Amino acid sequence: MSTSSKTFTVPLDEENWILTPVEAGLDGTWLGSIQMRTLHGGRQEGVKVIDVDNGVTTFSVVPTRGMSVHSVHCGDVTLGWESPVTDIVHPAYINLDSRGGLGWLDGFNEWMVRCGTEFAGHPGDDNGHMLNLHGKAGNIPASAVEVVIDNDAPHRIRLRGLVEEKTFKFVNYELLTEVSTTPGEAGLHFSDVLRNLGAYETEYQIIYHTNFGAPLLGENATFLAPFKTVTPFDDYAAKDIGSWTRYLGPTREYGEQVYCVEPYADANNQTLVMLRNADGDRGAAMRFDTTTLPYFTLWKNTDTLEEGYVTGLEPATGFPYNRSIERRFNRVPRIGSGETRSFSMSVSVLSDSAAIKATEAEISALQADRPSQINSVSATPPSD
């Protein structure tokens, strides 16, 4: 563990900013840079983007949109997708309540967006309050953005930002977000802390909504995970439960299919899932801590390229039903006054068949001889 670090405040009030290896004191060790740029024109006006280059992997973080990660590039692998929403949309142009609570989709094009934190999941009524799709965190501009670089090897580079979700009489949360990497690493890590600043114990939800298109997603791409149970989200997903881990190519009138997974983990509560391309030589491995992210959702949206050909790998506190439904199944955790909850996840880019096979073997070892239950009946609860 590093004993010291350097901290650099990101000047969000400036047009552009750059941090070089020389300025960071890592000249010769770190071959990349960190740059902030400001977007102009249309619905992007005023959006701040921070591009991080560790020498092997580059990724773009958007402080204006809750510290979401827009895209990741590593060699010939891109993590992200081609959304019909091409702008990085400023939250000022998002009405979360439009289309019956689906306004969140007006800005949806990130590789990773946090859903939550007061609530997440599908829109709808909850005890007389209308909830929008996937909460508010992804459309809250971050403050106190900074870069922290460890002085000791491997010189982890941490980009932090504070996302404050506060509504009088309802919620008083702050989410300290952190995405980090090390020089030359083929991947990145998330380490977030939620704090309840209110006087009372309250509910919270969070989904790490990571989204993949080409080149990893394609016909005969495969999802792998060690799992205890998998249940279709609704009747439409139930009809294809026999092929829930395999993908179609772009398909007209596909709609979307969602599967609710309870993953197995190791003795340290760590689990591992993977998206593998059809050739078995490229992929992405995701590790997360099931202590605070005990559930996982696989979202398959293999519609046409024009409509958005994408799959979502989503560690979460629960499943993406409306909070009123999740509460009935005891999947809405609570956090006391002054308490914190920590969430961790990492994603690695796999660039050859050897890395794919090693990850497959690790997933198989996590599954071991533990049984898997595949439920053919929809998990949609009966209405009250």
Give the C-alpha separation, 109 to 89, whole Å: 9
- Here the tokens at position 276 are 């593998």
pLDDT for residue 255: 86
Task: Give the pLDDT score at 384.
Answer: 43
Is residue 383 pLDDT above 70, yes or no?
no
Closest CA to 158 of 6, 286, 348: 6
DSSP-assigned letter for residue 241: G
Pairing of strands 171-181, 57-62: unpaired
Q: Summarize pLDDT for 63-83 with one digit per residue, the tens.
A: 999 999 999 999 999 999 999
Using pLDDT thresholds of 50, 70 and 90, give the confidence band for residue 378: confident
Residue range 322-371, pLDDT digits in tens: 999 999 999 999 999 999 999 999 999 999 999 999 999 999 999 999 99
Beta-ladder partners of 231: 260
How many Cα atoms sit within 13 Å of 140 on the Cβ side?
Answer: 23
CATH no. of 5-374: 2.70.98.10
- Tell me what pLDDT residue 3 has: 65
CA 249 from centroid of its chain's CA atoms: 23
CA separation for the pair 155, 206 (Å, rounded): 29
All structural domains of the chain with their residue ranges = 5-374
Cis, peptide link before residue 154, omega less than 30° from 0:
yes
- Say which residues have a Cβ less than 8 Å from residue 191's Cβ, sequence separation at least 6: 178, 180, 342, 343, 344
Distance CA(321)–CA(382), nearest Å, equals: 13
Helix (H, G, I), strand (E, B) or coil at 195: strand
Q: What angle do CA 116, 359, 184 make, to 5 degrees?
A: 75
Lowest mean pLDDT among 276-280, 340-344, 377-381: 377-381
Q: Are 145 and 65 in contact (CB under 8 A)?
A: no
Q: How many residues does the chain have?
A: 384
Task: For residue 13, count other CB atoms closer than 10 A to its CB.
Answer: 7
Strands 187-196, 340-350: pairing kind: antiparallel
For residues 220-241, average pLDDT: 97
